[in-house]
Structure 1
Amino acid sequence: MIIFDKKLYVSLTCQKTSHNFTKIAFKPLHTNLFNIVLLSIFLTIGSGKLYSQEIKNKKKPLATVKQTDKPATAVTDTIKLDTVRPKKTFLDGKVKYRAKDYAKIDQKKKLITLYNEAELYYKDVELKSGIIVLNYEKDEVYAGRIKDSAGVLSQYPNFKQGSSEVQPDSIRFNFKTKKALIFNSRTEQGEFKIKAAVTKKENDSVYFLKNARFTTAADIDNPEYYFQTSKVKFIPGKKVITGLTNMVIADVPTPLALPFAYFPMSQEKSVSGIIIPSYNDSNTRGFSLQNMGYYFALSENYDLTVLGDYYTNGSYAMRFESAYAKRYKYRGNVNIRFENLINSERGYPDYSKQNIYNIQWSHSRDTKSSPTSSFTASVNMGSSKYFKQSINQANIGSSLNNTLSSSISYSKTFSTIPQARFSLSATHQQNTQTEEIIMTLPTLQASIDRVYPFVGKDGVKKGFIKNINLQYNLSGKNNIKTTDSLFFKPQMFRDAQIGMQHTIPLSTNFKVFKYFSATAATNYQETWVTKTIDKNYNVDQGKVVNTVVDGFDSFRTYNFTSSLGTTIYGTFNFGSDKRIQSIRHVMRPTISYSYTPSFEKYYDNYSVDASGRLTDQYTRFEGGIFGAPGKDNSNIVAFALSNTFEAKVRDRDSTKTEPKKVMLLNNLNFSTNYNFNANGKDVLAWQPLLISGGTQLLQNKMNVNFGATLDPYALDNNNKRIGTYNIDNGGSLFRMTNANLTLNYSFSNKGTKDDKNVQSQRNGGRKDDLFGTNTDLTDPRNSQFANEKDDDKDVISEFFKSKIPWDMTLAYSLTYTNLQRENKISGNSVMVSVNMDITPKWKGGVSTGYDFVQKGVTFTQFRFERDLLSWRMAFNWSPLGPNANWNFFIGIKSGMLSDIKWNKRSTLNR
């Protein structure tokens, strides 16, 4: 009998398999009265003594005890307590099991057998298999496969305890000791898939494996590669420690072997470890070990990677990379690169030595962490020639860019009335061609919001008077202008310019004749500086020299501006039955006037020869950090007209009743100005007419931008502008001095292209791949396959039944120049980049172009990549120009085994 819930007795014949969901306990068997009497007789005979006759014991009278007044002595019971502990019942939790065919209970052998799609649940243990045998006397369970109708073994066991899961051929598990013996187990831990002939589960956290293989391939039974070892200690979620380990590729053992191996498998955070270098050779620097280093998992919030290169001719490079983040607070990364480059050998004529470096820092703060303040940083500074000469960067977009820029800023807003705010920032601009560096360390900006002094209690701002407003702005700078060679040297700081400017703008806006918007403003500025100049003729040098004068000085300026503008709408209707039903034209004309008086009082005369002849004027604020006051008054009126053209077109889909809007021209702008103080010689009244425009064509896939400059004045015989109109000189109304046209066309049949070339974008370059994809040789695993996941469907058979995925970017640029009667095409080039999925596993791409003026091929790059399932192979080749190079890489996709790779590349021609 089996007792359920310790109360209900159910015979075996009445038991149902679907109801065995209760706690099991075993008690002594119950039998009928006859068996009890019979058993008592045999027990009495076996334990007693036999006599020929019954002998009665003689009874002795009990001794009388005399009563006394003393208390009676307590009698101690000499019978000892039973020291035999009751047997603990089997299992201390609920067991739930089921089977498709049957659940058989053998009470004699203490077995429960579950057959076909058997399932057993006990505490955190889940077991599914073809057959499950539970021995409740030994507290063990066995699970294995069964044969199907074709005689093939199927229904592999699936054993799950907590977060660990195993799929073996068979398994034996003890519920009390928690030990298990597993045959041909298959398990996954993170990216690793492990298969072992025999696995011994020592406890909840330690496994010992014999004849094991582990891999990151999708198919553990038929992997592309695996590591074979005879002994393994496996701690789930933490680490794998092996004995002699051999790498096997396509079932062929390789000579790659290690006496022992350690694989961290922590899922909570990264683990520190060595980064294995790659080997290369160079014609100019000798043999090298590249990208060797160490990764420090310092904490959950930040890490550090230290990488280095070494060449046998003495060249070396160091890189420090760190990423940090704190949820809902901030995130960023820091990259510091230094290279000591030696070309050739000492004593040879082509020997050279130089140090180059690059520092990059990016930081952003979550706006929710502090709504009233912010801190951001975007730093990219270093040697001007770093991206052109680096031995570990093939960043074409960055090497062609001529500007490096940085900005670090902190801002704070104060909840006052009126609201006040200030910001403190440091900026950096570097021209990599001239090696000139301009920095502000720091820049202070402060302001108080607009104040409307004439607004009534109702707060309505309407009319000329009530819209009058003023505010206060403060700007302070410490400006430094230096070069690469003087960067962060004492002279750099000695030449710094310090100044501060106070600005109080007063403005208003109002309506004129209902349809015109008018503005009027005046602006007062006061500028403070700490350095001025003094010009004098130096007799010894025979020229005019500038002498820097240290000390506080200031000047004050003011100006007046006004503008009048409106918006004009025009619609041309062609009829609802036409393909183009109407065209809408929106014009926004604006006329503005500005006047700045002469501040000649800040100007002085200086002599230009030994006789002391005064022929020129200067201001001591010349070259100042905030400029200088103007000597001549400015009296200018400016004209501007912007246009947009939009059409309503009947949709090709006949089910749609509403026409769709199509933008014909996003913008068409005209602008010029007239100077009333022009003298007709040095200063001409009319400025050239500037025309610019742009639109999008082909379903917004093609961007078209154009521009032109039209000069109304003629040229003399020396090609110098003169105060004679071109039409009066026998020419046309305007003389086109330059024009440009650019086309950008991106189209694809596989959706939106991902942004590429992040490094190039940080340097102000392009995000597309017209200049090729950047190859950061410190991380050669960057690939188009990096974010793709493998799937099990057979894409090969379906691939050629569909369109081949591809994308293309096309750019065309045309420039015309006629500033001094050149009348020539100064620029005419086309660039194209194409990427294509040649097969589901092969990707190819090319970036190239042609310059029709220089008659030569522009930068060209060929790209090929092969998805080798758990491996990746890539080859990039730039065959032309000073950046000609090639790079080949093959390695494992998994980040855990990223050091298992082979990388070979040519030496950059730098």
Structure 2
Amino acid sequence: MKLVSFFFLLGTILILNSIAIAGRHSYSKPVLLADTIIKLDTVKDKKILAPAKARENARTKKGGAKSASATNDTTKKSKSGLKSQVNAKGDDLSYFDIEKNIGYYYGNARVTYEDFELDADFIRVDKNKHLIFASGLVNPKTHRYQNKPIAKSKGQNPVIADSLYYNYETKKIKAWNTSGEQEGNYITGGQTKKLNETEVAYNNILFSTCSLPYPETHFGIVITKGIGEKNKIISGPAYLEIEGVPLPIAIPFGFFPKPDHRTSGVILPSFGEDSRLGFYLRQFGYYVGINDNLDLTTTGTLYSRGSFEAGTTARYLKRYEYQGTLTFNFGAHNYGVQGDPYQKDFSVIWNHSQDANAHPGSTFSASVNAATSTFYQNNVATTNYNVQAITQNNLRSSIAYSKTWAGTPFNFTANLSHSQDLTAKTVSLELPTFNFNMTSISPFDSKDRVGDQKWYQRITVAYSLQGTNKINSEPESQIFKGDNLLKKLQSGFQHQIPIGLNLNVLKYFQFNANSTYTERWYFQSTRQYYERGSISGNATPLVDTVQGFTRAGDYNVSAGLSTKIYSEASFKGTLKKLRLVSTPSLSLSYRPDFGDPKYGYYRTIVSGAVLPYQVVSSRYSIYQYSVYGGPSQGKSASLNLNVDNTLEGKLKARSTDTSGADRKISILQGLSFATSYNFAADSFRLSPISFNAHTTVLNQKVSLSLNGVLDPYASQIKDSISNNQIQRFYRRIDRYTFQDGKFPTLNTLNFSMNFSLNSSKNKRTNSPPSNTLQSLNRQQADELALINSDPEAYVDFNVPYNVNVNYNFTYNNGGLTKTISNTINASGDVNVTPKWKVQYTTGFDVKAAKITTTSFSIYRDLHCWDLSFRWLPFGYYKSFSVDLRVKASILQDLKLSKRKDYYNNQ
């Protein structure tokens, strides 16, 4: 059965693709009445053509009261009781037959009556019968039927037809081969007859979501007889037609919604079998269009072995104010034998955004993504088989509010956040974190100052207050048990007051002095101790929490100088000049030893005796586990050095450049070195030397980055024997490597290269449907609906190609062990033809000599259909899927799918 369904799917795809490639460029003969078009070069009726003599006779008979060849005609109020006038005109030729009271109008003809407007190539107005006839014209060069009649009425969508009759007394219309649209639904072909203001009779019309006119429409439902009202069509016999081929799928009568607003309805399920959970009825549910601002979609999946999934999504929108989406999903799965406990999972996703102009000075936004650690692995139907979602390791959420007071230096932000490690199954929460800030001000300066600033007027002061209430890396299974959440929450406040001064000294130097005072407020601190009789080397100290308000303050001061040094070198040839700009900065910083017992921030922990009369002690901070930590121990008096360099070049102008201007290029965008020397330290005074380099080449298409850390001190590796086993130890020595004639030890090194090549978006070659902006808005709405429901299913064919290649090399020297990571990753997409697109994602681990997770996707744009093929050729997530679906959001359940999921590999 599976094999038959697969070949049926393959055959359907090949047929649709071959028809789509062949195209429909042949001329379709218009549907016209027998007496519609009057060709000017063949008409012999003198009364119609009205030569000069005939027109003169007409004047004589009618008393010459009106010219018979007027280009504009206005019918006044008639005896029949018409309340308005019929206005008609034609650009090429207009003629009014006085004897028959009929007007003929050619070339961009136009008739208006009350709120009714009619445009066509030819229009005939019969004043006696109050009947208007309109048709188009066959272009003799292209043989295309053009300038079709377009009828418009106030409050209704335009109606396009090959030809039509309109009675402006009864306001009834009869049209042939019509083409109309309403909220993404198209009615084409056949005959239509407007019965009254609310009802239209249909005969052999095609109801579809395809915008192409009949007979080019790709698919639809042929309604042999029916009555159309404003929001629905009640039909007699109807059948399905694809690519002009009737299918043996018919109904004796039916009801088709034709809404101009959101309506509720059933979501059809898909059927299949899962190797672990049994047969399934997947993603069935109900959509509720509550109002224009809110809707609700609820779906569920049932498995024959008892497992189930359920989810609901609410979308809301208030124009010019805010919009958002809230989704909740729940699943219960049993992968064992009947009677085993179910594995329950849930997820919550909330996205909210506020219009920037809604509340000037304040913003509110939310991006919440929380779930149990196994949700994305177990609920693959809910995630639409998205490999990125299945393989993700971290989830993050944030709800933020900000407020700025205009005309003041103050601003406020508050944030609720969540982070989750799905591998370790731990959760971190901030409930909440807030910041109240005052931007830098100059307290000794004045707005009314005259002349240059004095040195003391350049002093700046700022202030910030931070507060938080958080829990770190708590096991997922324990966080909401009992009162664990309240017990584990850590609270605190931190005040910071930075003071700065910047001056230009000795013309070429920039002097800066800074001092920062930090004050921390906590409502608890910790004490550590060993259990009686324990040995410090073999036991972990116990931590006791002491409640009560406590504070900790610290400060530091620094002063430094910086300047710029320019170096240039000139050459002969294509390279004319090199320019090196170095920015060295030297600063002194001081921080007292806040580990001194007089501050009370640190305490001593004493272990039991290891040997007689020997006691081991160590120091710890009572704020070690606090949210903002505590002051650092150890006195620091450091000399800090940093050098940043950029290298630029100047090339001779190209021979094709008529301006003759030299070309400037960036060779090295940045090369920096940084280190410091602590005079107050008793050993290892020189800190590791860090370096960083980055640049771009090939017109910024390739970016290169190199960074690492060098250790200036020597090291030793020694072996010792313990319990008849050799153990190796690594330790640094307070001796510089250059004293032994060696280069500093490379601790870490990272090199990355990223290549990016993409094209700009093409202009749309296929113009939007002829009934204009409303159809274009519907197309955009369908695209947005598809993106929201399944981001992987949306493909932008307007970008011809996009290529990204990343190479990353990482080296870590851990002393005893050295690790190397060497990977290449590639992703991108390319339009093979304007309607074919291929996407790919792959990688290669050079060290392991293995290809990482790889996926390929092929998309075919079939106008109103989408064909997609997704394939993961190897690995744990090996799978494939083929989907043929209708683009229109209202027919997302009209699709044909074939898939093999990764979990069926087991």
TM-score range, shorter chain: 0.7 to 0.9
- Measure the CA separation in 1 of the matches of 2:674 and 2:763: 37
Matched with 1:761 is: none
Deviates more, 1:490-499 or 1:163-172: 163-172
- Measure the CA separation in 2 of the matches of 1:369 and 1:146: 52
Q: For residue 17 of structure 1, what is the amino acid of its counterpart?
A: S
- Measure the CA separation in 1 of the matches of 2:691 and 2:508: 26
- Measure the CA separation in 1 of the matches of 2:507 and 2:715: 45
Aligned residues: 798
Cα 1:691/1:110, change in 2 over 3 Å: same
- Fraction of identical pairs, as percent: 27
**Are 1:465 and 2:452 matched, yes or no?**
no
What are the within-5 Å matches in structure 2 for residues 213-224 of structure 1?
Answer: 213-215=206-208, 216-224=210-218
The 8 Å contact of residues 710 and 735 in structure 1, kept in 2 or not, is answered as yes
Matched with 1:343 is: 335
Cα 1:18/1:540, change in 2 over 3 Å: farther
Cα 1:712/1:251, change in 2 over 3 Å: same
TM-score (ref. length: structure 1): 0.80
Q: List per-residue Cα deviations over 1:543-587 (Å, max 9, x = no partner).
A: 642221122222222222223212222222325xx3222222221
- Measure the CA separation in 2 of the matches of 1:502 and 1:391: 47
Matched with 1:548 is: 545
Matched with 2:725 is: none
What are the within-5 Å matches in structure 2 for residues 309-458 of structure 1?
Answer: 309-346=301-338, 353-392=342-381, 393=383, 394-415=385-406, 419-455=409-445, 458=448
The 8 Å contact of residues 463 and 509 in structure 1, kept in 2 or not, is answered as no
Q: 1:664 aligns with which of 664, 667, 674?
A: 667
What are the within-5 Å matches in structure 2 for residues 693-712 of structure 1?
Answer: 693-712=693-712
Cα 1:647/1:475, change in 2 over 3 Å: same
Deviation at 1:704, TM superposition (A): 1.0
Matched with 2:863 is: 869
- Measure the CA separation in 2 of the matches of 1:116 and 1:819: 86
Secondary structure of the structure 2 residue equivalent to 1:609: strand
Deviation at 1:240, TM superposition (A): 3.5
**Are 1:518 and 2:511 matched, yes or no?**
yes
Matched with 1:294 is: 286
Matched with 2:275 is: 283
Which sections of structure 1, spanning at least 5 residues, go unmatched?
Answer: 1-7, 27-86, 755-774, 789-803
Q: For residue 701 of structure 1, what is the amino acid of its counterpart?
A: K
**Are 1:93 and 2:95 matched, yes or no?**
no
Matched with 1:79 is: none
Q: List per-residue Cα deviations over 1:756-787 (Å, max 9, x = no partner).
A: xxxxxxxxxxxxxxxxxxx9999458545467
Matched with 1:570 is: 567
What are the within-5 Å matches in structure 2 for residues 767-786 of structure 1?
Answer: 779-780=789-790, 782-783=792-793, 785=795
TM-score (ref. length: structure 2): 0.80
- Measure the CA separation in 1 of the matches of 2:220 and 2:319: 38
Matched with 2:607 is: 608
Q: For residue 703 of structure 2, what is the amino acid of its counterpart?
A: N
Q: For residue 840 of structure 1, what is the amino acid of its counterpart?
A: P
The 8 Å contact of residues 713 and 721 in structure 1, kept in 2 or not, is answered as no
Q: List per-residue Cα deviations over 1:633-661 (Å, max 9, x = no partner).
A: 22222211111112122332331322222
The 8 Å contact of residues 70 and 96 in structure 2, kept in 1 or not, is answered as no
Q: For residue 22 of structure 1, what is the amino acid of its counterpart?
A: T
The 8 Å contact of residues 263 and 288 in structure 2, kept in 1 or not, is answered as yes
**Are 1:899 and 2:893 matched, yes or no?**
yes
**Are 1:817 and 2:812 matched, yes or no?**
yes
Q: 1:741 aligns with which of 733, 751, 767?
A: 751
Q: List per-residue Cα deviations over 1:91-140 (Å, max 9, x = no partner).
A: 63143244856635253x55445578765433333445576544333322
**Are 1:492 and 2:481 matched, yes or no?**
no
- Measure the CA separation in 2 of the matches of 1:337 and 1:213: 39
**Are 1:173 and 2:177 matched, yes or no?**
no
The 8 Å contact of residues 193 and 220 in structure 1, kept in 2 or not, is answered as no
Which sections of structure 2, spanning at least 5 residues, go unmatched?
Answer: 1-59, 719-728, 765-784
**Are 1:502 and 2:495 matched, yes or no?**
yes
Q: 2:300 aligns with which of 287, 295, 308?
A: 308
What are the within-5 Å matches in structure 2 for residues 826-841 of structure 1?
Answer: 826-841=820-835
Cα 1:331/1:586, change in 2 over 3 Å: farther
Secondary structure of the structure 1 residue equivalent to 2:685: coil
- Measure the CA separation in 2 of the matches of 1:473 and 1:749: 45
Q: For residue 312 of structure 1, what is the amino acid of its counterpart?
A: S
Q: For residue 178 of structure 2, what is the amino acid of its counterpart?
A: S
Matched with 1:766 is: none
Deviates more, 1:637-646 or 1:429-438: 429-438
**Are 1:474 and 2:465 matched, yes or no?**
yes
Matched with 1:77 is: none
Q: For residue 802 of structure 2, what is the amino acid of its counterpart?
A: D
Deviation at 1:201, TM superposition (A): 0.6
**Are 1:679 and 2:671 matched, yes or no?**
no
Matched with 2:580 is: 585
Secondary structure of the structure 2 residue equivalent to 1:21: strand
Q: Which has the larger radius of gyration?
A: 1
Secondary structure of the structure 1 residue equivalent to 2:349: strand
The 8 Å contact of residues 695 and 703 in structure 2, kept in 1 or not, is answered as yes
Matched with 1:11 is: 63
Secondary structure of the structure 1 residue equivalent to 2:388: helix
The 8 Å contact of residues 206 and 220 in structure 2, kept in 1 or not, is answered as yes
- Measure the CA separation in 2 of the matches of 1:405 and 1:176: 66
Deviation at 1:878, TM superposition (A): 0.8
- Measure the CA separation in 2 of the matches of 1:265 and 1:461: 74
What are the within-5 Å matches in structure 2 for residues 198-237 of structure 1?
Answer: 198-215=191-208, 216-235=210-229
Q: List per-residue Cα deviations over 1:304-328 (Å, max 9, x = no partner).
A: 3222222222222223323333333
Q: List per-residue Cα deviations over 1:271-313 (Å, max 9, x = no partner).
A: 3332222223211111222222223333333333222222222
The 8 Å contact of residues 125 and 159 in structure 1, kept in 2 or not, is answered as no
**Are 1:847 and 2:841 matched, yes or no?**
yes
Deviation at 1:496, TM superposition (A): 0.9
**Are 1:722 and 2:732 matched, yes or no?**
yes
* RMSD, aligned α-carbons: 3.6
The 8 Å contact of residues 412 and 422 in structure 1, kept in 2 or not, is answered as yes
The 8 Å contact of residues 283 and 907 in structure 1, kept in 2 or not, is answered as no
- Measure the CA separation in 1 of the matches of 2:106 and 2:555: 97
Q: 2:263 aligns with which of 266, 271, 291?
A: 271
Cα 1:882/1:660, change in 2 over 3 Å: same
- Measure the CA separation in 2 of the matches of 1:244 and 1:862: 44
The 8 Å contact of residues 739 and 817 in structure 1, kept in 2 or not, is answered as yes
Deviation at 1:25, TM superposition (A): 5.7
Q: 1:527 aligns with which of 502, 514, 520?
A: 520
The 8 Å contact of residues 217 and 225 in structure 1, kept in 2 or not, is answered as no
Q: List per-residue Cα deviations over 1:603-647 (Å, max 9, x = no partner).
A: 333331279946223333231121123332222222111111121
Cα 1:501/1:612, change in 2 over 3 Å: farther
Cα 1:622/1:741, change in 2 over 3 Å: closer
Matched with 1:560 is: 557
Matched with 1:794 is: none
